[in-house]
Amino acid sequence: MSQRARPRATKLTAGLFVAALGPALALSGCATMSENETAGTLIGGVAGAVVGNKFGKGSGKTAATALGAVIGATVGRNIGKSLDGTSRRRADAATHEALETAEVGEHITWQNPDNAGGSAHGSATVTRLGADSEGRTCREFRQTVIIGGREVQSYGTACRDDNGDWKIVSS
């Protein structure tokens, strides 16, 4: 994985993300948010900002990043409402297993039929192997979560740290 292959957030993009996500969090704060909703809002906002930043061009890149953050935060909050602790643990375990043992393209699946928001399930898939500029082993991955028939995908890159643990370096 070369440095060119990974998206880089600039200070401007990060500032725009915070500026765009602030109103989304404020609007969603009209009611008390659960831990799952907060996590979903933040994860969705980051993912939306990254996607928006990739699609925006020229002066529209700023607006696309901000809009992506707001849309991602809204979708993430709705998913977070339905994703309980058991589902989150199962999704995290599937992602860890994929990073540790899966071949590129192999789906490591998880399921929680007892989820309060409906049957929750999903998968983690390694999409690319490589190394970063420091020579650390890295893997790009995709997480898919499906709750009540609604599918959300997120993408990230994890690299092994000095202790041999996987550390997410971008999402």
Dihedral Cα 31, 35, 36, 42, nearest 10 deg: 90
Percent of the chain with pLDDT over 70: 53
Above 60 in pLDDT, residue 21? no
State whether 95 and 161 are in the same domain. Answer: yes
| Mean pLDDT (the chain, rounded) | 73
State whether 46 and 99 are in the same domain. Answer: no
Q: Residues for the chain: how many in total?
A: 171
Q: What is the pTM of this model?
A: 0.55
DSSP class per residue in 98-146: HHHHPPTT-EEEEEETT-TTS-EEEEEEEEEEEE-TT--EEEEEEEEEE
User: Which residues span the domain enclosing 78?
Assistant: 3-82
State whether 93 and 166 are in the same domain. Answer: yes
State whether 90 and 152 are in the same domain. Answer: yes
Per-residue confidence band for 4, with pLDDT thresholds at 50, 70 and 90: very low
Contact 158, 165 (CB under 8 A): no
Q: How many domains does the chain have?
A: 2
Above 90 in pLDDT, residue 150? no
89-128 pLDDT, tens digit per residue, is: 888 899 999 999 999 999 999 998 776 555 789 999 999 9
State whether 91 and 44 are in the same domain. Answer: no
State whether 97 and 71 are in the same domain. Answer: no
State whether 78 and 27 are in the same domain. Answer: yes
State whether 99 and 115 are in the same domain. Answer: yes
**Weakest-pLDDT range from 12-26, 56-70, 80-94:** 12-26
**Domain final position from 82, 101, 119:** 82
